[in-house]
Amino acid sequence: MPATVVIGAQWGDEGKGKVANLLARDADVVVRYQGGNNAGHTIVIGDEKFALSLVPSGVIYPSVTPVIGNGCVVDPGVLLEEMATLRSRGVDPDHLRLSGNAHLIMPYHRKLDAVKERYLGRNQIGTTRKGIGPAYTDKYSRQGIRVQDLFDPGIFRDKLEDALREKNQILSRVYNTLPMDIEPILDEYAGYAEALAPHVTDASLLVWTAIREGQNVVFEGAQGTLLDVDHGTYPFVTSSNPTSGGALTGTGVGPRDIDAVLGIAKAYITRVGTGPFPTELDDEIGARMVEIGGEFGTVTGRRRRCGWLDMVALRYAVRVGGITELAIMKLDVLSGFPTVRIATAYEDGGERFDDFPRQQRVLYRCTPVYEDHEGWEEDISGARSMDDLPKAARSYLERIEELAGVPVTMVSVGPDREATFLPA
């Protein structure tokens, strides 16, 4: 596994946390490369459940160095709170390392995220309102404040003054809401500087050196391919690159440093927030997936929209992410459906799309072309090898592999870390 990128191959919540945690057992470094606390990664180990938003899933193991890379946006209050929670549960997060080049989420980013969504009304994206979009906007407009600025009080004040001069105009004049005072923010962030100082490092050098030394490095993606700002269902996306390219720019290593890209996909598909969703099931089948799959957001508690597995989208994820192998998660949730369906193409106005359509309007209007597969009745959550699965479940997996064009190298049949196997 030397350097493995774990990416979401759908609209997020595929089970990346579980897989990254599993791989972390044999890893030396686990690094987050994009996103922020919009992510919610759940890890279940026996009776213990951890929901992580910023800290990489490898934190659980003392032998792993968890790293937050430059491509992430970091809300320092949330990060410190998450570290405190971990500490209170017996997990020591002191070995966490944080890139000085990561951008800070500031209080005005959270506020702007909320007021912009309100302003959009029925066209809203349904963001997590954590300030992710506004923080990345400032990064790219070169008005961002970075982690390293925390340690230069003069520069921090200057940058914050500049930012607030503009943000307060926008908050008050465009969004008709209250401006923000500088002093409480300076005080708050000075406290964060002190608490975070021991963790800040040159994360790019750390990851690069680990790879050079032949250590095992896991790049833990957040969100998913269809939420990618370039390759996803724009504008109903997040503001970063969850696809594997993001792992390079978000940490500072090159393409030849990566050995494998593991795409994570559920045996069906879900989405939180607004945006097109060709295989969405607005019926009792979808409701059953929500119920059995526990499909409620880790971050916002919102009910996830559910639908049949979309192989047009999954093939696209394999292509744009350079996915070399797939993990199929939550196969247990499909037990008990008489028929399970796979979308193999879309149809719109007499035209058939085998590849993901380049024109987004097709995604709203198209009808999926389904292939029906026999379901299985058995509870498969105890399966620990392909041989333990009913024949119908095995053929379902084989068909996914065939359509994806890459091997399925991991199957998951329950939330627990142990409810996983590697098909021989």
- Can you tell me which residue has the tokens 């070169």? 142
The answer to the question of residue 272 lying near ligand IMO (CB under 6 A) is: yes
Instruction: Judge contact between 155 and 100, C-beta under 8 A.
Output: no
Task: Tell me how far the alpha carbon of residue 418 is from its chain's centroid.
Answer: 22
- Can you tell me which residue has the tokens 């627990």? 416
Residue 356 contacts which entry, Mg ion, ligand IMO, ligand GDP, none (Cβ below 5-8 A, type-dependent): none
Q: For residues 333-367, b (16+ Cβ closer than 10 Å) or e, as one string?
A: bbbebeebbbbbbbebeeeebeebbeeeebbeebe
String of contacts with Mg ion for each residue 276-315, x by CB under 5 A: ----------------------x-----------------
The answer to the question of residue 199 lying near ligand GDP (CB under 6 A) is: no
Residue 125 contacts which entry, Mg ion, ligand GDP, ligand IMO, none (Cβ below 5-8 A, type-dependent): ligand IMO
- Single out the residue of 329, 342, 362, 363 in contact with ligand GDP (rule: CB under 6 A): 329
Dig out the tokens for 188 from the structure: 């708050």
C-alpha closest to that of 22 among 208, 211, 203, 220: 220
Residues 203-262 that bind ligand GDP (CB under 6 A): none
Q: Report, as residue numbers or ranges, the catalytic residues.
A: 13, 41
Report DSSP state, residue 111: H
The answer to the question of residue 18 lying near ligand GDP (CB under 6 A) is: yes
- Single out the residue of 36, 40, 131, 368 in contact with ligand GDP (rule: CB under 6 A): 40
From 69-77, 132-140, 310-318, 329-337, give the range in contact with ligand GDP by CB under 6 A.
329-337
**Binding residues with ligand IMO: total (CB under 6 A):** 23
Residues 270-299 that bind ligand GDP (CB under 6 A): 294, 298
CA distance 311 to 156: 48
Dig out the tokens for 152 from the structure: 């230069």
Measured distance between the N- and C-terminal CA atoms of the chain, rounded to whole angstroms: 17
Dig out the tokens for 164 from the structure: 């607030």
Peptide bond into 235 cis (omega under 30): yes
The answer to the question of residue 14 lying near ligand GDP (CB under 6 A) is: yes
Dig out the tokens for 286 from the structure: 């979808």
Residue 69 contacts which entry, ligand GDP, Mg ion, ligand IMO, none (Cβ below 5-8 A, type-dependent): none
From 66-74, 128-136, 208-216, 346-354, give the range in contact with ligand IMO by CB under 6 A.
128-136
Instruction: Judge contact between 235 and 32, C-beta under 8 A.
Output: no
- Can you tell me which residue has the tokens 């799959």? 293
From 74-82, 193-201, 247-255, 326-334, give the range in contact with ligand GDP by CB under 6 A.
326-334
Shortest reach from residue 84's CB to ligand GDP, in Å: 21
Single-letter residue type at 367: T
In sequence order, which residues have a C-beta less than 8 Å from that of residue 282 and are 6 or more positions away? Answer: none
Identity of the residue, 115 or 289, whose beta carbon is nearer to Mg ion in the bound complex: 289
The answer to the question of residue 36 lying near ligand GDP (CB under 6 A) is: no
Instruction: Judge contact between 74 and 97, C-beta under 8 A.
Output: no
String of contacts with ligand GDP for each residue 382-421, x by CB under 6 A: ------------------------------xxxx---x--
Single-letter residue type at 313: A
- Single out the residue of 4, 9, 41, 263 in contact with ligand GDP (rule: CB under 6 A): 41
Dig out the tokens for 199 from the structure: 């963790």
Residue 201 contacts which entry, ligand GDP, Mg ion, ligand IMO, none (Cβ below 5-8 A, type-dependent): none
In sequence order, which residues have a C-beta less than 8 Å from that of residue 12 and are 6 or more positions away? Answer: 39, 222, 223, 224, 227, 242, 271, 272
The answer to the question of residue 40 lying near Mg ion (CB under 5 A) is: yes
The answer to the question of residue 222 lying near ligand IMO (CB under 6 A) is: yes
CA distance 12 to 153: 37
The answer to the question of residue 97 lying near ligand IMO (CB under 6 A) is: no
- Single out the residue of 2, 126, 235, 423 in contact with ligand IMO (rule: CB under 6 A): 126
Dig out the tokens for 249 from the structure: 């720019």
Give contact residues for ligand IMO (rule: CB under 6 A): 8, 12-13, 38-41, 125-128, 130, 132-133, 222-224, 227, 236, 238-239, 272-273
Contact footprint for ligand GDP (CB under 6 A): 8, 12-18, 40-42, 44, 294, 298, 329-330, 332-333, 412-415, 419
